[in-house]
Structure 1
Amino acid sequence: MTTQPHLDIDAVRKVYGSVVALDEVTLGVEKGAYVVLLGPSGSGKTTLLSLIGGFIVPSSGRIGIAGRDVTDLSPAQRPTTTLFQDYALFPHMSVANNIGFGLKMRRVPAAERRKRIAAGLELVGLGDYGGRGIHELSGGQRQRVALARALVVEPEILLLDEPLGALDLNLRRQMQDELLALQRRTGRSFVHVTHDQEEAMALASLIVVMNNGRIEDMGTPKRIYERPATRFTATFMGESTQITGQVTSADGSSSTQVETAVGKLRLPGTLPAGNGVTIIIRPENLQTGGAGDVNLGTARIREATFQGAHYRVLASSETADQDFVLRLPPDRQVEQGMSLALSCRAEHLVAVDR
């Protein structure tokens, strides 16, 4: 017996005139998940978030939350709340009154309202800040107030629309930690929109990669990064070396041989002979000095940039038209023009359709 997903998006389509913003998107999410919708501008991620929140209506398809069809319900009628990038706090209200605003609109009795406001303040670490004005708070504190306001109404799903985009790098990382801890403490489902790959991997239990109004790939951060399903996902989820080739043979169910500019590469698993593929290798998986079991030839360093924990190195093959991006230890001697013998382990080669 299969259980119905907590968030159930079924063949949802959104069209504006001749523009298809979302094209038959289907997604099922379990209760308590931290979902990140990830993609470039125009990929459809914000449109999908707005459809879940009821701010726009789908052209076709269905949306269910906690076993209830909410497709035609207004935002106020849905079991969701939304945290926007600008927080949308009321500057003339105290912190406590901002947090309690949604409860007041729902006509929650005053005594219960005070109790839940106090709990909300404690939840976000602002227990003594209830009487302060919004103008007295830092950016991070304002975000905590917005989070408390969203959570005190006890939504089934909290929607977050690029909530960290306005913060500086250090505060953004701090708030990532706090968002994740808050989600785990409350056990609520979060759906978070961002175009930042590092933010997605830091927060998500499920990443949904979007492209041109469709779901390109979805899975755990580890799987999406290490074993991307498409070339777009591989490129969007961070740097990689990409080697194009042609499948020449398959050895039963154990391995596949691909003819490339840097030689014949043997990959685990089987692919149809004749297929054009792109082989993806992440920078940290390229090795020097012949340490890996797959030989990629020699390459000469074009650029090397010190980035603290490692050198980011761009190198070009000495025998073929092929570039490599790799990381070398910070204590390694690295010079422009230096020749490197490159290799990797077969298990780190990922083939996607060209």
Structure 2
Amino acid sequence: MASATSAAATADGERRRTRTLRAGPLAALLGVALVAALTAAVSLGSVDIPPGEVWSVVAHRLTGRAPEPGTRDLIVWQLRVPRALLAAMVGAGLGLVGTAVQALVRNPLADPYLLGISSGASLGAVAVIVLGGGLGLEAAFGSALGLTVSLAAFLGALGAFSLVWVLARRGGGFSPLRLVLAGIGIGQFLAGFTSYLVLQSGDEQRTRGVLFWLMGSLGGAVWSQLAVPAVAVALGLALLLARARGLNALLMGDETAAGLGVDVTRLRREIFAVTSVLTGVLVAVSGAIGFVGLMVPHVCRLLVGGDHRRLLPLSALTGAVLLVVVDTAARTALDTQELPIGVVTAVLGAPTLLYLLDRRLERN
């Protein structure tokens, strides 16, 4: 019996070392995939532009040389490059938020969309857009990001997350199933109220624009819009990496984490704040994009294990690649119109959720 236990421990150690060694090459592979996905995103569209010309335009812009005359410089640099970069930032942010939330609640079924966080952020953003003093859709998606929209989205995300958490811990216990059900219920309630606010705008064009944005859209991406999400994602990654050991400890339960010297209450508050800020900023620039935060951490966890020192950066890279590819598909799938990103992610994410549910039921 002792030898069997020792052999099992040795095998488990070998698997962990293999995963650790695999994380570096996997990150490099994802980096190459991200560059390829960004190149394809800029190249493909109603007017296809060869990758060589894409990089020629980018090189001219980055080196400060005068761009070659023609409309391709406008298409590449002013329209497609900002959108592709924003897709990468939003995907990276959603991967980070999903990973942090799943560790926080110890539930691989959790993500900002299912827990109602995205719905709360959407409600806050739409309330400012529709009812805010003079702040219209153009102000929110024009040359500036609209810090007021981001702040409102953050407050909505924080409020929704707090409400879901309180409901899930009623009676002093904690049930992952209750958490997911509370998130779905709160999310649907907030989504209904958001739709009501949109219909009260009295402007048909604005109503259609906001409804399309709520399903996920990067169509309004401009260069001046990239600074805030870039800073938010970079700071979010740094802050979460600094707390990676605490997140690892949380997976073993609050009592075990406290026994390892982790201030569980403080850590949970910090993760609440970071994920709510990130979700608010991402929703403000892209709308509510579901299931990315569910799929990405699960796939990365299967590949590299549950150590958040490896899981967080790989989730960010995987999310970036995934959303750039999804946005390109949503933009080019139909000749006559653009699909909302949320439609594509739902088609991919719903089967993933059903698969995870089925596995958990079998395990129980």
Q: Which has the higher strand share?
A: 1
Shared fold (TM-score greater than 0.5)? no
Q: TM-score by structure 1 length?
A: 0.20
Q: Using CA pairs below 8 Å that are at least 6 residues apart, which structure has the higher relative contact order?
A: 2
Of the two, which has the highest radius of gyration? 1
Greater helix fraction, Structure 1 or Structure 2: 2
